[in-house]
A = this chain, B = another copy of it.
């Protein structure tokens, strides 16, 4: 099952998730100057990063918003990026944060687990409840995976996620419990469910509480680097074994800035991936 595959990839290649939140300003000059559509340039940038980092990346995450921003040309680059990552035998998370119900969620499942935009995992927003999750169950049985938003890494996540419920629990804790419960039917050989969770690294104490509420859950962890999380913070989360992938986007894919504007930019990105991987693994 799919979360097993991700767990195995992380054991082999390390827990770094390379975030391809690619924007025009990130491209080295040699690419910016090409007589190509912007989408073609973004895809070439992504392709070279995937080639350079394949050995050191546990998986890739593609932020669909960066491609939707460019319309059809961007969506073509998005499709080509997903297809390229998968063609290399690597796993890819489509960071789409979709959240809709029943027949609509079925359409999203078809869109993101088959066809042009096929990914191995998607991120999902569960504010609408289990109706926004259950339409994916058939795909989970067939080996796809999803990560539900539980506690995000942004400052205003407290607006709703931290609200105290009657009885003293916070909202995100209730969300964690429900997500864990939905995931029980999809636990694989690794002990992890095909329903994972997005939990930001920026609140380490809260992460421990969430972990205890979600014993079979593999985490997609944003917040490393630019958002303040360190390898030592991750070590606390992984103290009893690796239980997630740690995403960094801008911190990795702009690593060449100020160093090179040429075709060798991908080596800077790979070096940043290695540095991040070592920053995490040194504590384990």
Chain B residues in 8 Å Cβ range of A87: none
Q: Among the listed stretches A5-13, A96-104, A204-212, which one makes contact with chain B, having 4 or more residues with CB under 8 Å of it? A: A96-104
Chain B residues in 8 Å Cβ range of A125: 97, 99, 125, 127
Main secondary structure of the interface of A (DSSP, over half): helix
A138 within 8 A of B: no
Instruction: With CB as the reference atom, state the residue of chain B lying closest to A111.
Output: B68
Chain B residues in 8 Å Cβ range of A102: 154
A36 within 8 A of B: no
Distance (whole angstroms) from the CB of A77 to the closest CB of chain B: 11
A141 within 8 A of B: no
Q: Among the listed stretches A44-52, A162-170, A189-197, A272-280, which one makes contact with chain B, having 4 or more residues with CB under 8 Å of it? A: A162-170
A100 to B117, CA, bound (A): 19
Distance (whole angstroms) from the CB of A99 to the closest CB of chain B: 5
A110 within 8 A of B: yes
Beta-carbon contact of A99 and B99 below 8 Å: yes
A131 to B126, CA, bound (A): 18
A contact set with B: CB distance below 8 Å = 21, 23, 63, 65-66, 68-72, 74-76, 79, 97-105, 107-108, 110-112, 115-117, 125-132, 149, 152, 154-161, 163-166, 168, 171, 174-175, 178
25 contacts between A and B (CB under 8 A): A21-B104, A65-B100, A65-B105, A68-B108, A68-B111, A69-B107, A71-B116, A71-B117, A72-B72, A72-B76, A99-B125, A101-B156, A125-B127, A126-B160, A128-B149, A129-B156, A129-B157, A129-B160, A131-B157, A160-B171, A160-B174, A163-B171, A163-B174, A164-B166, A166-B166
